[in-house]
Structure 1
Amino acid sequence: MIEPAVSSDAVATPTPTRGSVVAWAFWDWGSAAFNAVVTTFVFTVYITGSSFGDEDVISAQLGWALAIAGLLIALLAPITGQRSDSSGRRKFWLGVNTFIVVAITIAMFFVQASPSYLVLGLFLVAAGNVFFEFASVNYNAMLAQVSTPATIGRVSGFGWGMGYLGGIVLLLIVYFGFIAPEVGLFGVTSENGLAVRVSMLIAAAWFGLSALPVLLRVPEYRAPQSQRQATVGFFASYRVLGHDVARLWKTSRQTVYFLVASAVFRDGLAGVFTFGGVLAASVFGFSAGEVIIFAIAANVVAGVATIAVGALDDRLGAKPVIVTALVGLLVSGLVVFFLHDGGQIVFWTAGLALCLFVGPAQSASRTFLARLIPAGREGEVFGLYATTGRAVSFLAPTAFAIMVTVFGETYWGILGIMLVLLVGLLLLIPVKAHQQQIN
C-alpha cells in the first residue's frame, strides 16, 4: 500500500480512533442539508418555479448565479486551503465556513414566493455554494488526520456514505413532514412557500448540529515547523501559490495529471445527479413526488455502495475502483439512452445502477489524491482539487445542452454526459498511482 510522504520534522499526530472517524463523517452526514435540500431537490426547485416569474428565464439566471459562484471558488479555494495549512487552523476555518453556510440557509426562510424575492434567493444559493466549497476544502484535508494509509479508503467511503444516508433521512423529514401534506407538521402549509421555507430552517439546524462532533472531537491540525510560513497578505498568497503550483508541476506531474482527469470525470458525475431529475420527469414521466422518491432510493443505493467499496479501495487501490465505476456508469447510461422508450422501469433499474457507481467514484477520487499529498499540503492541494473541478464545471451542462439542441429530444442529453465521463476515463488511464513527492 502506498504511504504518503511525511516530512522529517512533521508533528506527531494521535493515532486515529473510531470516535474521531465517526465525528469527522458526521460533517458529511450533515452536509446533505445543503447538497440535497438546498441545491438539488428543494430550494432551487422552489425559486425556479412559476411563483418567481418565467421559469426558463429564472433557470438561466440561476445558472449565471452559480457560474459566478464557481468563478469565485476557482479563484479563492486554493488560497484558503493554503492559508489554513500554513496557519495550522484547518478545523477553525472548517467551523467558520460551515456556520456561515448555516446562517445563509436560515436566511433562505425569508425568501417568500414572489418575484421581488428572486434576487435574494439567487444570491443566497450562490453565496452558500462558495462557503460550502471553502468548508469542503478543509474537511477533505482533515481526511489524513482521521485515517492511516491502510484505512484511508474505508474512512473516505464511510464519510461519503454517511452523506448519502444523511440525505435520505433529511429528505424524508422535509418531504413527508412539510412539503407533501396539505397541512404539515406544526400546521405548516405551502402558502407563500412556507413549507419550503420552514424546510430551510430544518436543514440549517441539521447541518449545524451535525458539524459539532468534528469540531469538538477531532484535534486541530498543526503544521510541521518547516512548512510554517510567515503571514503574508491576501494578494501575496497568490504569488506563493504560483510558486507551489510550479513546483508541483516539476516534481509531481502525476498529481497534476490526476487533478485534470478528475476534474473532467467529476463534472460528469455531477451531471448524472444534476440532470437525473430532469430526465426522470421529462423523458420517463415521473411526477415531482416520484422524483423525490427516486432521489431517496438513489441515495440509499449510492450510500451503501460507497461504504461497501471503501474496503476494496484500501485493498486494490483507488484507481481500479475509479476505472471500474466509470465503465459501469458508461454502460448504465447507454442502457438508459437506448431503452428510453421502455417506461419508468428502465429508469428505475438503469438509473439506480448509475447511482451504484457514482459514490464509489467520488470517494475513491478523494483517496487517490490524498495518498499523493505529503503531510502539511492537504489544504492547498485539495483547494486546487476544488479549483480544477470548478474550472471545467461547464462541461456536462454544455454537452447536455448541445446534444438536446442538436437532436431536439431531452434523452439525447444522456450521451452528452456520457461523453464527459468517457473523456475523464481516457485522461485517467495513463495516470500513475505511485507516490509523488511535492515538497
Structure 2
Amino acid sequence: MSQARADKKEIFGWAMFDFANQAYTLLIITVVFGDLFTRVIVGDAETGYRLGNLLWSLSLAAGYLLVVLTAPFFGAVMDLTARRKLFLFASYLVTVVATALLYFVAPGYILLGMLLIVVSNYAYSIGESFIASFLPDLGPPEDLGKISGFGWALGYVGGLVATGLALLFLGEVSQENFDNVRWVGPFAAGFFLLAAIPTFIWLKERGTASHHRNSSIWQQGRQRLEGSLKHLRGYQDLSTFLVSALLAMSGIYIIIAFTFIYGAQVVQWDEKMRVLTFITVQVTATLGAVFFGWAEDRQGSQFTYQFTLLFWIAAVLLIWQTPNITLWINALGYEAERQDIFLVVAVAAGLCLGATQSASRAIVGKLTPLPRAAEFFGFWGLSHKLAAIIGLVGVGLMQALVGLQNAILLCAVFFALAFAVCLKVNLSRGQEKARNYSAD
C-alpha cells in the first residue's frame, strides 16, 4: 500500500526546517564566523592564518566525526521509540544555544570558540539526518522528488534572507568592527529558533514504538544498530547508492568550502563581485532545486541525479580553466575579466547545487522501508559527514601539492566516480525491496 500524501501545511512545516537551519550553514560555517574565527579570534596574520585555518578545519571535522559515530545509533533508537520529533527538537535546541553562545568568543578565546563550533555543528548536522527521516512519511515515492526539492529550495531562500539581513546590519568582518560582527552567533541562533517553529507545530510523528520493556532502550538501540549494519547489506541498491552519495557529496563539500577562497586566490575577484556571486548562486540554486524537483517526478530521481553529476563535471572543468578561457576571449578581441567568466560558470553550477542533494535525499527515501526510515537516513547522514571529511582533507592535501587551481579537479574525479557507482543502482528493484520489508 502506497504512502498517502501529507497535507500542504505539514509539508510546509517540514520544509521550514530547511529554511531555518540555513542561517547556521551560511552565517556560521561559510560566510561570517569562519572568517571571524581565523582572522580575528585566532588572528595569526604573520603565518598567513595557517593556524586559524587548521583549527577551524579540525573543529568542523570533529563535529562531523561525532555525527558519523552517533547518527545511525540515534536513528535506530528513534525508530524503536517512535520519537523522531523529540530527537529533532533536542538537536534544534542544542544548535540554538551553542550558536548564541558564540557571542562570548572574543579574540584569543580559541578553545571556547572551537568547543562551541564542535557542539553546534554536531547538533546542526545530526539534525539534518533527523529531519530527512520524515521525508518518506510525507507522500508516495513518486512525489518525494518534488517534496524534497521544495524543501531544498526553501532552504536557499532562508539562507539568502538570513545572510542578507546579517550583512546589512552586522557589517564587515574585521577587528575594528568586532563589537558588531560578534552578534552573528545570536542572530543566526534567533533566526533558526523562530523560523523552525512551524516544523514543530505542523510536522506529525508517525510510527509505533516497538521496544521491549524488559531491557534498556539504549541496549536495544545498540543491538538493532548492529543488526542493521547486516540488514543494510540486504538492501543492495540502497547500500550501493549510499556509496555514490558519499562520493558526490565529497565533491560538493569542496565546492561549498572553497568557492569563495578560489574566487579570491585564483580568480582574484573584487568585493562587489563576491557579493554578487553569493546572491546569484543562492537564487539559481533555489530555482534549480525547484526545477529539478519537478523534473525528478517526470524523468525519475536517478536520471536527475546522474544528469546533475555530469553537469557538475563540466562546470568544474570550466572553473579550472577560467583563467585560460579569459585569455582566449581577450585574444579574440573581446574584453573579459576572470571574475566575469567565473560568475557565469558559478551561476550555472548553482542550478545543480541543491538539485544533486535533493535528488539524493529523494532516492534514499524511495529505497528506504518506512519502519527503518530514521535508521537508514542515519546512514545517509553518515555518508554526508564522511564525505565532508574525505573531501576537505583530500583537497587540502592536493592544494599543498599542486596548487588550488589544479586541486579543484579533485571535485570532477569525485563526481565521475559517483556517476559510475550510481549506474549499478536499480531503482525499481530497490523500491520493490523497500515495499516488501519484513522485520525478520
Task: State TM-score, norm by structure 1.
Answer: 0.89
Q: Does 1:34 align with 2:24?
A: yes
Which of 389, 392, 397 is the aligned partner of 1:394? 389
* Cα displacement (A) at 1:161: 0.5
* Cα displacement (A) at 1:73: 0.9
Contact 2:211 2:217 in 1 (8 A): no
Tell me the equivalent position of 2:183. Answer: 198
> 1:185-224 to 2 correspondence within 5 Å?
191=176, 193-223=178-208
Q: Does 1:412 align with 2:406?
A: yes
Would the alpha carbon gap of residues 235 and 47 (structure 1) be closer, same or farther in structure 2, given more than 3 Å must change?
Answer: farther
Q: Distance in 2 between matches of 1:429 and 1:398?
A: 27
Q: Distance in 2 between matches of 1:416 and 1:15?
A: 40
Tell me the equivalent position of 1:383. Answer: 378
Q: Distance in 2 between matches of 1:286 and 1:339?
A: 12
Q: Does 1:138 align with 2:138?
A: no
* Cα displacement (A) at 1:50: 4.4
SS in 1 for 2:371: coil
Q: Distance in 1 between matches of 2:85 and 2:426?
A: 31
* Cα displacement (A) at 1:15: 4.7
Percent identical residues: 23
Tell me the equivalent position of 2:112. Answer: 120
Q: Distance in 2 between matches of 1:351 and 1:330?
A: 13
Task: State TM-score, norm by structure 2.
Answer: 0.89
> 1:10-409 to 2 correspondence within 5 Å?
15-54=5-44, 55-112=49-106, 114-115=107-108, 117-180=109-172, 191=176, 193-223=178-208, 227-230=210-213, 232=216, 234=218, 237-249=221-233, 251-287=234-270, 290-341=273-324, 342=326, 343-407=338-402, 409=403
* Cα displacement (A) at 1:194: 2.3
Q: Distance in 2 between matches of 1:33 and 1:200?
A: 10
* Cα displacement (A) at 1:133: 2.0
Which AA in structure 2 matches 1:41?
V
* Cα displacement (A) at 1:311: 1.4
Which AA in structure 1 matches 2:410?
G
Q: Distance in 1 between matches of 2:50 and 2:284?
A: 32
SS in 2 for 1:76: helix
Structure 2 residue runs of 5 or longer lacking an equivalent are 327-337
Contact 2:98 2:120 in 1 (8 A): yes
Any idea what the Cα deviations from partners look like across 1:21-80, whole Å, max 9, x if unmatched? 111111110111111111111111110114523211111111122222222111100111
Would the alpha carbon gap of residues 214 and 51 (structure 1) be closer, same or farther in structure 2, given more than 3 Å must change?
Answer: closer
Which AA in structure 2 matches 1:393?
A
Contact 2:137 2:370 in 1 (8 A): no
Q: Distance in 1 between matches of 2:415 and 2:133?
A: 25
* Cα displacement (A) at 1:391: 2.6
Which AA in structure 2 matches 1:56?
R
Structure 1 residue runs of 5 or longer lacking an equivalent are 7-13, 182-188
Which AA in structure 1 matches 2:323?
H
SS in 2 for 1:214: helix
Contact 1:77 1:133 in 2 (8 A): no
SS in 2 for 1:327: helix
Contact 2:75 2:376 in 1 (8 A): yes
**Alignment RMSD, CA only?**
2.1
* Cα displacement (A) at 1:163: 0.6
Any idea what the Cα deviations from partners look like across 1:74-125, whole Å, max 9, x if unmatched? 110011111111111111111111111011111011112x11x111111111
SS in 2 for 1:286: coil
Q: Distance in 2 between matches of 1:139 and 1:297?
A: 27
* Cα displacement (A) at 1:162: 0.6
Q: Distance in 1 between matches of 2:217 and 2:272?
A: 50
Higher mean C-alpha displacement, 417-426 vs 256-265:
417-426
Which AA in structure 2 matches 1:108?
L
* Cα displacement (A) at 1:256: 0.8
Higher mean C-alpha displacement, 391-400 vs 372-381:
391-400
Would the alpha carbon gap of residues 311 and 52 (structure 1) be closer, same or farther in structure 2, given more than 3 Å must change?
Answer: same
Q: Distance in 2 between matches of 1:84 and 1:134?
A: 13
Q: Distance in 2 between matches of 1:312 and 1:48?
A: 41
Q: Distance in 1 between matches of 2:177 and 2:166?
A: 17
Any idea what the Cα deviations from partners look like across 1:147-170, whole Å, max 9, x if unmatched? 332321111000001111111111
Q: Distance in 2 between matches of 1:15 and 1:285?
A: 48
* Cα displacement (A) at 1:180: 4.3
Which AA in structure 1 matches 2:221?
S
Q: Distance in 1 between matches of 2:40 and 2:184?
A: 19
Contact 1:190 1:196 in 2 (8 A): no
Would the alpha carbon gap of residues 105 and 288 (structure 1) be closer, same or farther in structure 2, given more than 3 Å must change?
Answer: farther
Would the alpha carbon gap of residues 430 and 229 (structure 1) be closer, same or farther in structure 2, given more than 3 Å must change?
Answer: farther
Q: Distance in 1 between matches of 2:130 and 2:264?
A: 36
Any idea what the Cα deviations from partners look like across 1:374-409, whole Å, max 9, x if unmatched? 1121110011111122234333223323433332x3
